[in-house]
Chains A and B, each alone.
Chain A
Amino acid sequence: MKKLINDPDDVVDEMLDGMTAAHPDRLRRLPDTQVLVRDDGPVEGKVGIVTGGGSGHEPTHAGYIGDGMLDGAAAGDVFSSPTADEFEELIGACDAGDGVLAVIKNYEGDVMNFETAIELAEMEGVEVESVVVDDDVAVEDSLYTSGRRGVCGTILVHKAAGAKAAQGADLSEVKRVAEKVVDNVGTMGTALTSCVTPEKGEPTFDLGDDEIELGIGIHGEPGTERTEAMPADAVTEELTDAVLDDLDLDEGQEVLTVVNGMGATPQMELFVVNRRLQELLGERSLETYDAWVGDYMTSLDMAGASITVCAVDDELKELFDAPADTPALTTT
């Protein structure tokens, strides 16, 4: 499989250098790490917002570093958690004395490495709180899994927590709004094709030309159902129904929606999905407060999309609207 890379072992390193070269006024790489932080950070008088995870989900996470969102992000190797020492450096670099909120996607490696780093940082006197994002409604919490996966809803946590921190709120308040998003958001995705990791160079999973995977994970993990390819409207209905059934919202509830591309799906198709999504919300008497469409949480070169719905109240609306100025997301 063709890839525009040099050596699979160098992909993450070279990507991070390319990102800082693209945004020298915004991003700074901590020496000898895969950690990017705000060039002007840590910001005095503000709670630091940090996150991280495996690479391959760009612009997640470093693309959201900047005013109104993240203070820094640790990048692991492709689809692998950053190590605890990298998370520890990240936390230390993003603490201006007012504490740090760690936003963790719910994967075993991410959670364990971040928790270890948090405990070490606390021993150094840094106040740290964390939230674990588990918005993927496809995988049921059961004895068979370690709970739901964290996917595109994570971006909304970054946005709300980042905005709250930018307003000067203290750590407990920042954590509260992050948890509010986690409690009110759901996501489900579908894959039309498998991603291809640089290391392996061939599809992670086999999917026939006439098949799609519903409930796909952002690393190509199996979803809920493999089915024959369907028109966009039918796929959108499957995803939307699953998310809304899980959220169980009251009529008239306002929501923010995200139609997220998995990496290799044209914007054209994402807008087609969004069109049907908004119709479906109307049929359920839900009110769209804002609709985001784009590539936010990708899975390398997977074709497909995910749909995220987040119930919003006045506070979340204000935070989602608040100014953000990052490489991948700007609100004014």
Chain B
Amino acid sequence: MTDDGAAVVAAVDAVAERIEAERDHLTRLDSAIGDADHGGNMARGWAEAADAARDLNDPDAETVAKTVGKTLMAEVGGAAGPLFGGSLVFAAGELDEGVTPETAVAFAETYLEKVEDRGDARVGDQTMVDALTPAVHTFKKSIEVDDVEPIEALAKAVDAAERGVAFTVPIRARKGRASYLGWRSVGHQDPGATSALIILEELLAVAAERLDVDVPETDAASPTIPDDDPEEASDDPAAASEDD
């Protein structure tokens, strides 16, 4: 097994274990605004995905990601199957040359793009996009503009996702089943965004463990407000890369 492949298998294992541990929590969140099946469906799907990943013979990262995506797609069902699993199947292709800072950014961007397209959701709709968008943007900027260590970039991304999840609470759902509640969706934390955060947290934990480093400290409570020239501060990190 390639190192990258083994790392992804380990990450999937960790996610499956954590989702199972959070199952009741996710179900409670979903009961408030949906049909109370998110915890059970995700736990079943990730357990199957972890089994499928472990059964692969000497896989590379792309193969593991694709297998996990397909299994989630088949086992989770509902809207979460295509969103969490389908997006992974498509994004997996970005890892065809293994996991590097560059391919990880491409993977993250493709994943977010697929989730946005499939769910027709944008930031502020009270969905998993609210967790993923700040995470992916922060990861990209940290790698491409700030040039920090990948593990630190991932830690910042998790930190950003956490704030994204908090952001889902005071806003009104515009997509997904919660949107049927209209204004009554305000005040509820989105279960899909919560799952996305849980997955990112486990990716970070496994990455730190495999690199044998401590998870870098970030300060979720007080985002850094740049006090330099506003024009400079508002530079789009994407402008530093070739796309957009």
Contacts and interface: CB of A to CB of B under 8 A. Distances in A.
Contacts of B73: 83-85, 116
Contacts of A96: none
Interface stretch (A125-133, A142-150, A233-241, A293-301): A142-150
B85 to A, nearest CB: 8
B39 interface: no
A298 B126 CA distance: 33
A286 interface: no
Contacts of B78: 80-81, 109
Interface stretch (B5-13, B14-22, B172-180, B214-222): B172-180
A306 B53 CA distance: 47
A84 B78 CA distance: 9
Q: Residue among B78, B82, B119, B175 with the most chain A CB within 10 A?
A: B82
Interface in B43-99: 70, 73-79, 81-83, 85-86, 89-90
A77 B77 CA distance: 10
Q: Residue among B76, B77, B175, B182 with the most chain A CB within 10 A?
A: B77
Interface string A130-167: 00000000000001111000000000000000000000
A109 B83 contact: no
A115 interface: yes
A9 interface: no
Given A84-B82, A144-B182, A115 B118 contact: yes
A40 interface: no
B229 to A, nearest CB: 39
Contacts of B81: 83-84, 112-113, 116
A318 interface: no
A81 B37 CA distance: 14
A116 B84 CA distance: 11
A146 B178 CA distance: 11
B86 A144 contact: no
Interface of A: 76-77, 80-81, 83-86, 108-109, 112-113, 115-116, 119-120, 143-146
